[in-house]
Every structure is written in structure tokens, then in C-alpha cells.
Amino acid sequence: MAKIQIGRTELSVNPLGLGTNKIGGYNLFPNLDDEVGKKVIQSAIDHDVELIDTAFMYGLGHSEELIGEVLQKNDRHKVVVATKGAQQVAADGTVTLNNTPEFLTKSVDESLQRLHTDYLDIFYIHFPDQDTPKAEAVGALQRLREAGKLRAIGVSNFNLDQVKEADADGYVDLVENQYNLLQQNAVKELLPYLSEQHISFVPYEPFAAALLTGRYAPDNLPHFEEGDHRLNIDLYKPDQLKANVAKVEQLKPIAATYHATVAQIVLAWYMKNPLIGPVIPGARTPEQLLANVQSEGLQLSDSDYKIIEQIFVSFFENSRQ
């Protein structure tokens, strides 16, 4: 598939990347294996998955450390590394958001050390804080770009007004926000704006915390171990879960016609969507990574794309009216 240009930069990537909150993210998921996680990263590099997306909050730097170990054994220039920062952790473990230029500069330098690299391809402000002017925070990252420490600037979990403020000087290249077929309301206005401004949109949680993988059915609803962050997700609450699983059930016949899995069909839908940039599904094992990679070979028909859109009452249908 054709590469995707990142924002207004000269940076481009293959459409399918890798999200790594299950690699080293011991504070998010139980029973993670570091050695398996490193194998996932290596498998991604071996199969031309260029964009590897991580964050300080994935294991409080541990995900970055594992990725850094693998990067040292590979050609750094083959990998587009994206990381995120904004969380300040106190001695007692309390986490607060900090977007000040001083803290973001420190965060970038610490990420560089953990990743064993002298530049980041992409750095996102992970969450906005309440006090720092957004353009001031982004301005600090622009100075780091000018110093050669990063190639592209992103913001994450920013609403439309916050994105506009952050991009006052035209420095923002990407927005990474929650988006998937089951959670589209937050981007009814955001995506058209980003497209107009040539800012790339990177959706996180593309599988809606596994609901869109097709692994569940009305008679096989999910159950999670204590400590799994999915226990706190609205999509999994009893008043929503059955209806969400029923929607996903409608994808199974479509997937069968392509000899594909539901997860692969979902990824193919995102990659066909002109308003969406690179997609970063997670993978806990190399096998899951390879299954995701196979979705790049799927070409959804226009009619099937529209059927899937209608199943999930896509906002794109409303935006065309």
C-alpha cells in the first residue's frame, strides 16, 4: 500500500504501525512477558511495520526501554519511533499532567535515553494540562525539532479547540486520539478540520480494547482479570456490552467473504478511510502482529466499506449531508 505522509513534514510511513501499550505496560495489563514483547518489536521491524508507537506511561518508561533494546540491534533508520509524555510522577506515585516547556524538554531527553537513540521521529504531548498555554508547549517541541531531537510534533487527547490553540503557529503535524468503529462521537468535527489543515490523525484503540477483534459473541462475553484497565471502559459495561458485541457479529459474514478475520477487516476499513492516517493496533504476541500485517493485503470493496460504515452509524455519513 502507498505510504502516508505525516502532516506537513517529509516523513512518511506504511499505513499499518504498532501500538505498544502491551509491551512493557505492566501498569495497564497483567501477565506481560518482556521477552515476548521484544520479539513483537523485532517481528514488526522484520515485516516492514515502520511506525512503532509508545509512551512513558506504558510501564512508566519500561515500554520505551524494551523498544530501545531492540532498536540497538537493528537499523535505526528503518523504524519511525513515536513516543508521548506529559505525566509527572511524584515520589509517592502520584501522577500529574505537566506541559510546561521545561518538563516537556526533560521528557524528550529522558525518552531519548530509554530508547537508546539520538532523535525521535515523533513526540506527542500525551494529555493537555490545565495551565500551560498550548502554543507555548508546542513551541518548546518546535525548538527541540530545530535542535534535531525530533522530526514531527503531535498532540494526543486534545479536543478541537485545544488542537487549534496548539497549532496556532502551524507546528502540529499529528493528532492521536481515541477512535474506533464503536467510538466515533468525539471526532465528528475534529477529523474534517485535521484533513483541511493537513494534520495527520492517528487513532488509538482501533480494536476498542479487543471488542472489534471478533473474539466475542453473544454467548461468549468477555471476562477480565483484576487489574485489567478494560474493566473501567464504558464499552464493556453491562448496559452497552451486548449491543456492541451484536454490532461486531455483523462483520463476521463480511470477513468470511475475504477469507479474513474480523480484526483484519476492521483494520482494512481504517486503512481505506481517507481521513485516517497510520493505524497502530497493539499486539501481545508475534502471532498477533503477523495477523495484523496481513490486513495490508486486503482491499475492501466500496460497497463493503459502506456497509461497515452503516453498521456503526459512522459520523462520515452525517458529515456528507
Catalytic residues: 58
Beta-bridged to residue 97, according to DSSP, are: 87
What CA–CA distances, in Å, run from 134 to 145, 170, 267? 17, 12, 32
CB 23 within 8 A of CB 72: no
Cell of 222: 468477555
d(C-alpha 194, C-alpha 197), whole Å: 5
Name all contacts of 37-42 with Cβ < 8 Å and 24+ positions apart: 37/63, 37/66, 38/66, 38/69, 38/70, 39/285, 39/286, 40/283, 40/284, 40/285, 40/286, 40/288, 40/289, 41/66, 41/67, 41/70, 42/70, 42/73, 42/74
Which residues make beta-bridge pairs with 152?
Answer: 122
Measure the CA–CA gap between 237 and 95, rounded to whole angstroms. 26
